A and B are shown apart, each in its own frame.
Chain A
C-alpha cells in the first residue's frame, strides 16, 4: 500500500524564549524577534511530521510532503522535517504573507495543497504556539470539503479509511472516516524523532519548492483578513507574591499551610 500525506508546518518563535526576553512592539503590534534565539518548527507540527512518517512506514510506501506559508523562512530551521525523513517540502514565501490571519493562511495552504496534487491524508499540529488559534486545520478541511478528525493521539490507516483516537479529559473517543481526511494531532501521538546524520545529509541535498502567491493564482484580495488586530500588549501580572519565611525550610512549609488557611484558600 502507498499513502500520500501532506503535513502543514509552521515556523514560530521558540516558545522556550525566556519571558524576560519577550517583547512587543505596540506600534506595529508585533512581537519583537529576540536576538540570538532562532525560530523553531512549531511543536505540534513536529508531532504531525512524526505521525506522517510512522504512517508511511507502516503503509510500506508513499510520500510525505511538508507545506508551509510565511514571508521569511529560516531554511536551516524549516528543513528539519526533511532531516526527520519527509520526502519534499513546499514553501509559499511572499512578502504579503508576513501577517496573514488564520483565514488568509487557510486560503493559501488550501490552494497550495490543491495545486500540488492528490493526497490521502493531511496532518496538522493541533495549534501553533504563536497565535494559538487552533483553527487553521479546521478551515482547510472545510475548504477542501473533507472529513475532519481532531486531537489525535493515535491514527490507524485501514482500507480507504482512517481510525483515530481523539484525546479527551477522561480518556479518548474513537472516530472513523473515509480517506482523504484531515487530522490534527497533539503531543500524545509520540515524540518527534531526532534527525539522524544520514537524514541531515539527505535533507541537505533537497531543495524546498518555493512558490509565491501569484504562482498559486492568489490575489491580495484572497488573503484579506477576517479579523483586525487592534491591540497587542504584555499583560501586567497583578500577583504580588508573599514569600513565607520560617526559621528553616521545614518551618516555612508549616507556615505556608497556616497562611493559606488564614487566607481561606484551604
Chain B
C-alpha cells in the first residue's frame, strides 16, 4: 500500500514538536486516500523515538543514524530522504516549515521533478483521483489559494507550524520499524556547518513565546518599548514590532513580525499602536487571540482583533499593565 511520508525532525535527541503535527496531517490524508503513514527519522535515532513516532500516528518508521545526519544540514537530509522515496514511492511527502523542513522538502521536489506547495494551512485528499488539494495564504495573507497537484507523485507539501493539532499519543498502536542503510557521499553534502551561534536574547524567543506584545509606529519612538517589555515579562512573553518600527531603527530587524519578518502564532498577541497592515498581519494572523490598543478606530487591526481599546496608548497601557499584574499575582 502506498504511503504518505513525513520527515520527522529531531532536536536534542527528541522529536521536534512539528513531528506530531505532520503525523496528524498525514493521518488525515492517509485516511482520506486509503493509504498508510510513514515517517523518516534521520539523525541519532533510538528505539524509543521510533516507538513514539508510531504512538503519534505512524504505521511505518524508516530510520537512519548516518553520522552525516546528526546535524541539521539540508544536503544530507535531501540525499537520505530521496533514497527513502525511491524505495517506497510515497504518494506525498510532508515536511514542516522549519529551517530544515522548508528547504529539504522543496529541494527534493525539484530534484525529483515534481510539484511542491509551501506554507500549507490545510490539505485534503481526493480518493478517486489520488490528488491532494492544499490551502495556503498568498499575497501576504490578503488572499487564500487552493492548489491541486498535477499528476506526478510524490506530492510535496510543506506544512505551516502549528497548523495541525497533534493526535493523542497512543502507545498501544502497532507499526513497523525499519532501520535503513542510506549511503551519503561527500558529493551529496556540499555545505558544511561550521558553527551554531546562540544569541542570548533577554527572555523568550519571539517564535516560541505564548504571549507577544508588539508595538508599531503609533508609539512614536524607541523609548516606549521598555513599557512593552515590562508587560511581556509578566507573561514570560516576548516583544515584537512592525516593519515601520524596524525600518526607523527603533528596534533591530530581528524583532520584526510580518511578511518580511517573522511568522508567529502565540496564544495571545497584543498590539499597541499597530494599524494592522496586511503585510504585518501575514506574520501574526494565526495567533489564537489578538488584542489591539490603537487611537484610530478605523484601523484595520480592529477587523482582525477579538478585543480592543480605541484610545491613547500612553493612558491605556499603564492601567492595563497594572491590572494584568494584579490579576496574575492574585
CB within 8 Å of B: which residues of A? 13, 15-20, 22, 24, 31, 43-44, 101-103, 106, 129-135, 138-139, 141-143, 146-151, 163, 165-178, 186-188, 191, 224-235, 237, 239-245, 248-254, 256-261, 263, 265-266
* Contact among A169, A237, A259 for B307, CB-based, below 8 A: A259
Minimal Cβ-Cβ distance residue in B for A242: B307
Whether B320 pairs with A130 at a CB distance below 8 angstroms is no
Minimal Cβ-Cβ distance residue in A for B97: A134
Whether B205 pairs with A169 at a CB distance below 8 angstroms is yes
Whether B194 pairs with A163 at a CB distance below 8 angstroms is yes
Q: Chain B residues near A259 (CB, 8 Å)?
A: 307
A188-B253, A250-B318 given; A22·B143 CB < 8 A? yes
Q: Chain A residues near B190 (CB, 8 Å)?
A: 146-147, 177-178
CB distance from A122 to the nearest CB of B (A): 14
Can you report 19 A-B residue pairs in the complex whose CB atoms are below 8 A from each other?
A16-B279, A102-B116, A131-B145, A139-B110, A147-B191, A148-B191, A170-B198, A174-B196, A176-B192, A177-B191, A224-B150, A225-B115, A226-B114, A239-B306, A241-B304, A256-B323, A257-B324, A260-B268, A265-B267
A139-B106, A187-B261, A239-B303 given; A173·B197 CB < 8 A? yes
Whether B307 pairs with A138 at a CB distance below 8 angstroms is no
**What band does the interface of chain B fall in when counting residues whose beta carbon is under 8 Å from A?**
35 or more
- Let me know if B14 is at the binding interface, CB within 8 A: no
Whether A135 pairs with B116 at a CB distance below 8 angstroms is yes
Whether B208 pairs with A169 at a CB distance below 8 angstroms is yes
- Let me know if B174 is at the binding interface, CB within 8 A: no
A171-B199, A226-B152 given; A239·B305 CB < 8 A? yes
Minimal Cβ-Cβ distance residue in B for A186: B260
CB distance from A103 to the nearest CB of B (A): 6
Whether B138 pairs with A131 at a CB distance below 8 angstroms is yes
- Let me know if B178 is at the binding interface, CB within 8 A: no
Q: Chain B residues near A257 (CB, 8 Å)?
A: 319-320, 323-324, 327
Tell me, in angstroms, the Cα distance from A244 to B291 when the chains sit together. 11
Whether B311 pairs with A252 at a CB distance below 8 angstroms is yes
Q: Chain B residues near A163 (CB, 8 Å)?
A: 194
Minimal Cβ-Cβ distance residue in A for B323: A257
A129-B260, A253-B320 given; A175·B192 CB < 8 A? yes
Tell me, in angstroms, the Cα distance from A174 to B150 when the chains sit together. 37
Tell me, in angstroms, the Cα distance from A191 to B248 when the chains sit together. 11
Whether A22 pairs with B316 at a CB distance below 8 angstroms is no
Whether A243 pairs with B308 at a CB distance below 8 angstroms is yes
Whether B103 pairs with A253 at a CB distance below 8 angstroms is no
Whether B106 pairs with A261 at a CB distance below 8 angstroms is no
Tell me, in angstroms, the Cα distance from A138 to B101 when the chains sit together. 12
- Let me know if B66 is at the binding interface, CB within 8 A: no
* Contact among A138, A229, A239, A251 for B107, CB-based, below 8 A: A138
Tell me, in angstroms, the Cα distance from A239 to B144 when the chains sit together. 17
- Let me know if B290 is at the binding interface, CB within 8 A: yes
Tell me, in angstroms, the Cα distance from A263 to B308 when the chains sit together. 13
Whether B320 pairs with A256 at a CB distance below 8 angstroms is yes
Whether B197 pairs with A171 at a CB distance below 8 angstroms is yes
- Let me know if B225 is at the binding interface, CB within 8 A: no
Whether A142 pairs with B320 at a CB distance below 8 angstroms is no
Whether B312 pairs with A249 at a CB distance below 8 angstroms is yes
Whether B303 pairs with A132 at a CB distance below 8 angstroms is no
* Contact among B75, B145, B307 for A244, CB-based, below 8 A: B307
- Let me know if B83 is at the binding interface, CB within 8 A: no
CB distance from A71 to the nearest CB of B (A): 18
Minimal Cβ-Cβ distance residue in A for B73: A175
Tell me, in angstroms, the Cα distance from A142 to B290 when the chains sit together. 40
- Let me know if B46 is at the binding interface, CB within 8 A: no
Whether B115 pairs with A103 at a CB distance below 8 angstroms is yes
CB distance from B190 to the nearest CB of A (A): 4
B window 143-179: CB within 8 A of A: 143-150, 152
Tell me, in angstroms, the Cα distance from A129 to B315 when the chains sit together. 36
- Let me know if B65 is at the binding interface, CB within 8 A: no
Q: Chain B residues near A44 (CB, 8 Å)?
A: 260
Q: Chain A residues near B278 (CB, 8 Å)?
A: 15, 17-19, 22
Bits for B62-97, please: 1 = Cβ < 8 Å to A, else 0: 000000000001110000000000000000000000
CB distance from A192 to the nearest CB of B (A): 11
A16-B277, A254-B319, A263-B307 given; A132·B138 CB < 8 A? yes
Q: Chain B residues near A24 (CB, 8 Å)?
A: 143
* Contact among B137, B197, B277, B305 for A241, CB-based, below 8 A: B305
**Top-6 shortest CB links A-B:** A226-B115, A253-B320, A257-B323, A135-B106, A249-B315, A253-B319
- Let me know if B193 is at the binding interface, CB within 8 A: yes
CB distance from B184 to the nearest CB of A (A): 15
- Let me know if B328 is at the binding interface, CB within 8 A: yes
Q: Chain B residues near A31 (CB, 8 Å)?
A: 139, 142-143
- Let me know if B181 is at the binding interface, CB within 8 A: no
A130-B138, A148-B107 given; A250·B315 CB < 8 A? yes
Whether B142 pairs with A22 at a CB distance below 8 angstroms is yes
Whether A142 pairs with B253 at a CB distance below 8 angstroms is no
A170-B201, A242-B306, A249-B316 given; A132·B191 CB < 8 A? no
Tell me, in angstroms, the Cα distance from A248 to B318 when the chains sit together. 13
Whether A253 pairs with B201 at a CB distance below 8 angstroms is no
Q: Chain B residues near A171 (CB, 8 Å)?
A: 196-199
List 12 additional contacts besides A13-B139, A230-B133, A253-B323; criterion CB under 8 Å: A44-B260, A142-B110, A151-B99, A174-B196, A178-B190, A226-B152, A228-B149, A233-B143, A241-B303, A249-B316, A253-B316, A266-B328
